[in-house]
Amino acid sequence: MSITEANCLSAELNVPFPSAYEAGVAYGSLSVDKEPKRGNVTRELHVEGNVLHVRFQAKEARTIRVSINSFMDHLKLVCETIAEFGPVR
């Protein structure tokens, strides 16, 4: 069975940045890596204005949790890097 709206868990994460520029950089860094195949999780990213939208879909609670956890670790690292080397706010 494929992952469809009807039969799976989903989660949405909306991450606001100081501006569309930072949101775009975060998108550029975080959208490159694919989710591991075994996990059966899909993760879609897109940017609207200064907000990075992330949508997770999976059939199992365990795999969606692992995927979100890992994404949060990566998001934190990217945000710290932007804060350190990005435009002065």
Partner 1 sequence: MVIAIGFEGSANKLGIGIVKDGEVLSNPRHTYITPPGQGFLPKDTAKHHREHALSVLKAALEEANVKPEEIDVVCYTKGPGMGAPLVSTALVARTVAQLWKKPIVAVNHCIGHIEMGRLITGAKNPTVLYVSGGNTQVIAYSDRYYRIFGETIDIAVGNCLDRFARVLKLSNDPSPGYNIEQLAKKGKQYLEMPYVVKGMDVSFSGLLSYIEEKAPKLIASGAYTPEDLCFSLQETVFAMLIEITERAMAHCDSNEVLIVGGVGCNKRLQEMMGIMAGERGATLYATDERFCIDNGAMIAQAGWEMFKSGVVTPLKETTCTQRFRTDEVKVTWRS
Closer residue to partner 1 in complex, CB, 10/19: 19
Residue 5 CA to chain centroid, in angstroms? 18
> Residue 43: exposed, middle, or buried by beta-carbon count in 10 A (0-12, 13-18, 19+)?
buried
Closer residue to partner 1 in complex, CB, 8/47: 47
Residues making contact with partner 1 (CB under 8 A)? 25-26, 28-30, 32-34, 36, 73-74, 76-78, 80-82, 84-86
As measured in angstroms, the least distance from the Cβ of 39 to partner 1 is 12
Closer residue to partner 1 in complex, CB, 33/44: 33
As measured in angstroms, the least distance from the Cβ of 4 to partner 1 is 27
If you write DSSP's letter for every residue of 7-55 in order, what string do you get?
A: GSEEEEEEEE-SSHHHHHHHHHHHSSSPPPGGGTEEEEEEEETTEEEEE
As measured in angstroms, the least distance from the Cβ of 33 to partner 1 is 6
